[in-house]
């Protein structure tokens, strides 16, 4: 099987890196492409994933539309050259080349399977211009979808790389970050010095128009509050504000999830890192105007009680919640969240295991999954 993967965000490297190595190890050919996204390219190199460089992408929404046509043709040409018959991932371009391939002039048919964990109303352009051209849209359970092409599964994107079968925390990150800790008689990490991870988003994607997150005043106030209880590490999507430079995270990208695992708390306006913290059992606080609109995060908050979301106008409630959690103390907080995480893991699957099975058995797997009962998912736990 020859598979094409197009990377359009650093999170997609994490999402598909285990899948890539699984499929290559099984003898399949997997071709990866990536635009000029420095952090994504760095991650691909870290995880030893060869890729074809596609060039720069634009922030301006109108320029995005124009360059999309060019990317469509470029990616279709690559797919033809490499003999790919299956396009797989979260890039809208994959759906477009699948549609183009239906025209006999473009050669052999390409099937596209999209991975989408956002609600349609949150990403209306993606739903409108991506879903109709895909053969299958894979989504977490009960995510509202208008398309009949959806196939649901009980997991989150983050469980493709942070499920216990895929992730073992690397305690060396604590040494890298200068965090004190001890080990018990069995060598397990204990008594970790309290510290906090923060993430500030740029909100430059097409679905981020009109979206706001933490204000500069609330960022400043949150840093001051958390600094009274431990060290603070800040990571940003783009350039960091000068006043926060002393807190800039400087550990290797491939160790960030280990840092998040041992952290006392995560606070930010990022959807992905909020969910990553939740599935790792680290209390997470999110503040942006997406709150209340994304199903899988709502489930993590209201079913599993692993995270809390606040809209910017409710920032006082956010600070109250952070103070409540801090009052519990680090040890009690982490112990309680570890229990809540176990409940989540008991009901969710190893997403990479499912993706590998689904692709290797496609298209029969799509129909099997749609008809699946609860026991069907046990094979992927």
**pLDDT-wise least confident of 133-137, 208-212, 229-233, 340-344:** 208-212
Q: Output the pLDDT for position 61.
A: 58
Q: Which domain CATH number covers 95?
A: 3.40.50.2000
What band does 106 get if pLDDT is binned at 50, 70 and 90?
low
Q: Compute the distance between CA of residue 257 and CA of residue 340 in angstroms, rounded to an integer.
A: 19
Residue 195, domain extent: 172-347
Asked if 247 and 207 sit in the same domain, the reply is yes
212 and 105 belong to one structural domain: no
pLDDT of residue 203: 44
Q: Are residue 206 and residue 342 in the same domain, yes or no?
A: yes
Does one domain contain both 342 and 354?
no
Q: Are residues 138 and 256 in the same domain?
A: no
Query: 314 and 341: one domain?
Result: yes
* 167 assigned to some structural domain: no
Which of the four pLDDT bands, split at 50, 70 and 90, describes residue 7?
very high
Q: How far apart are CA 38 and CA 82, in angstroms?
A: 25
Q: Is residue 292 part of a domain?
A: yes
> Do 342 and 368 belong to one domain?
no
pLDDT of residue 251: 92
Mean pLDDT (whole number) for 305-334: 97
Q: Which of 63-77, 159-173, 217-231, 347-361 has the lowest mean pLDDT?
A: 63-77
CA distance 270 to 285: 10
Is 206 a domain residue?
yes
Residues 298 and 267 in one domain: yes
Residue 243 in any domain: the answer is yes
Q: Which residue has the higher pLDDT, 129 or 61?
A: 129
**Residue 241 pLDDT:** 86
202 and 305 co-located in one domain: yes
In a domain, 329, yes or no: yes
Same domain, 190 and 234: yes
> Is residue 111 located within the same domain as residue 251?
no
- Is 146 in the same domain as 266? no
Exposed (0-12), middle (13-18) or buried (19+): which is 171, by Cβ within 10 Å? Answer: middle
- State residue 270's pLDDT score: 87
- Residue 190 confidence (pLDDT): 95
Both structure tokens of 220: 């400043």
What is the residue-averaged pLDDT of the chain?
92
**Contact between 327 and 229 (Cβ < 8 Å):** no
Q: Residue range 326-341: average pLDDT?
A: 97
In 3D, which of 221, 254, 214, 258 has the Cα closest to residue 236? 214
Question: Which residues touch 149 (CB under 8 Å, ≥6 apart)?
Answer: 131, 134, 135, 136, 137
Number of domains in the chain: 2
More confident residue, 239 or 148: 148
Give the C-alpha separation, 179 to 166, whole Å: 25
272-297: average pLDDT:
96
The pLDDT score that the predictor gives to residue 240 is 84
| Per-residue pLDDT tens digits for 176-215 | 999 999 999 999 999 999 999 999 875 444 444 445 778 9
Q: What is the pLDDT of residue 204?
A: 46
Residue 227 resides in a domain: yes
Q: What is the pLDDT of residue 62?
A: 63
Per-residue pLDDT averaged across 81-106, rounded?
A: 89
């Amino acid at each position: 099987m020859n598979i094409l993967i197009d990377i359009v965000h650093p999170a997609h490297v994490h999402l598909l890196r285990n899948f890539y190595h699984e499929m290559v190890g099984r003898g399949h050919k997997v071709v990866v492409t990536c635009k000029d996204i420095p952090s994504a390219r760095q991650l691909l190199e870290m995880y030893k994933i060869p890729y074809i460089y596609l060039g720069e992408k634009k922030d301006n929404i109108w320029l995005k539309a124009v360059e999309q046509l060019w990317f469509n043709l470029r990616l279709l040409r690559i797919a033809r050259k490499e003999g790919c018959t299956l396009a797989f991932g979260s890039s809208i371009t994959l759906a477009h080349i699948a549609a183009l391939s239906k025209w006999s002039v473009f050669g052999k048919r390409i099937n596209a399977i999209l991975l989408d964990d956002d609600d349609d109303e949150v990403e209306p352009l993606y739903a409108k211009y991506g879903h109709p051209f895909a053969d299958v849209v894979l989504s977490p359970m009960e995510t509202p979808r208008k398309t009949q092409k959806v196939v649901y599964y009980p997991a989150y994107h983050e469980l493709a790389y942070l499920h216990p079968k895929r992730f073992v925390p690397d305690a060396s990150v604590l040494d890298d970050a200068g965090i004190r800790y001890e080990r018990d008689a069995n060598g397990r990490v204990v008594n970790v010095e309290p510290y906090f991870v923060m993430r500030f988003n740029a909100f430059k994607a097409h679905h981020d128009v009109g979206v706001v997150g933490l204000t500069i005043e609330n960022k400043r106030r949150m840093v001051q509050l958390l600094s009274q209880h431990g060290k603070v590490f800040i990571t940003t999507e783009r350039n960091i504000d000068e006043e926060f430079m002393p807190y800039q995270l400087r550990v290797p990208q491939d160790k960030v999830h280990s840092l998040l695992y041992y952290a006392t708390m995560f606070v930010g306006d990022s959807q992905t890192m909020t969910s990553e913290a939740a599935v790792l059992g680290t209390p997470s606080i999110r503040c942006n105007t997406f709150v209340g609109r994304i199903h899988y995060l709502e489930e993590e908050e209201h079913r599993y009680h692993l995270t809390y979301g606040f809209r910017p106008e409710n920032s006082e409630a956010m600070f109250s919640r952070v103070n409540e959690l801090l009052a519990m103390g680090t040890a009690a907080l982490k112990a309680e969240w570890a229990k809540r995480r176990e409940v989540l893991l008991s009901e969710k699957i190893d997403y990479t295991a499912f993706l590998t099975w689904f692709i290797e058995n496609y298209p029969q797997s799509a129909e099997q999954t749609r008809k699946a009962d609860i026991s069907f998912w046990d094979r992927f736990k």
